[in-house]
């Protein structure tokens, strides 16, 4: 068995009551006409976030398949996906879910700081991590460009 795996719909259904996962996906599709299922995008977003945290530790490698995470982090990932699906639908998390989300964030931060180890992948690559310095800034440039485009400027 591979040490790094992709997350499937079956994984989500196994992690929670399958009816909950189905209900979240169905409700998401009903909120906007002709919308596609958001769960694959949310799943990949969580996978990307986890891989980014893993890559933050210089001694880690990531798998060449960008859809995979360490199998040991599957429960953490499925929880985060469910939480994001609920958040997208503006369904409040329970206190237990908020506590779990905080614990998962702490785990990912420990991985990023090299305090916790993860299984190294079967097909490792060195992650491309940009070094940053200073404080991030927020720009209004993109919004201004969009407004100008809409107004025909």
Distances (CA, A) of 116 to 12, 103, 111: 25, 13, 5
**How far is it between the farthest Cα atoms of the chain?**
56
Position with higher pLDDT, 3 vs 38: 3
Of residues 140 and 98, which shows the higher confidence score? 98
pTM: 0.75
Q: Is 74 exposed, middle or buried (0-12, 13-18, 19+ CB in 10 A)?
A: middle
Residue 127 pLDDT greater than 80, yes or no: no
CB proximity list for 63: less than 8 A, separation 6 or greater: 4, 121, 122, 123, 124, 125
pLDDT per residue as tens digits for the range 70-93? 999 999 999 999 899 888 778 899
Residue 5 CB contacts under 8 Å (≥ 6 apart), including other chains: 68, 69, 71, 74
Counting beta carbons within 10 angstroms of the beta carbon of residue 80, is it exposed (0 to 12), middle (13 to 18) or buried (19 or more)? buried
Distance of CA 128 to the CA centre of its chain: 18
Of the candidates 24, 25, 21, the one whose C-alpha atom is nearest the C-alpha of residue 10 is 21
- C-alpha–C-alpha distance, residues 98 and 137, integer Å: 28
pLDDT of residue 47: 97
């Amino acid at each position: 068995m591979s040490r790094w795996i992709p997350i499937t719909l079956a994984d989500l259904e196994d992690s929670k009551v399958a009816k909950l996962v189905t209900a979240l996906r169905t409700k998401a599709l009903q909120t906007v006409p002709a919308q596609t299922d958001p769960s694959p995008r949310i799943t990949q977003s969580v996978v990307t976030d986890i891989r980014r945290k893993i890559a933050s530790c210089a001694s880690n490698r990531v798998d060449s398949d960008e859809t995979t995470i360490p199998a040991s982090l599957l429960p953490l990932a499925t929880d985060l996906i469910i939480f994001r699906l609920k958040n997208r639908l503006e369904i409040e998390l329970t206190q237990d879910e908020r506590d779990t989300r905080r614990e998962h964030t702490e785990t990912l931060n420990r991985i990023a700081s090299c305090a916790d180890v993860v299984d190294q992948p079967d097909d490792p690559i060195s992650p491309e991590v940009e070094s940053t310095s200073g404080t991030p800034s927020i720009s209004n440039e993109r919004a201004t460009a969009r407004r100008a485009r809409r107004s025909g400027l």
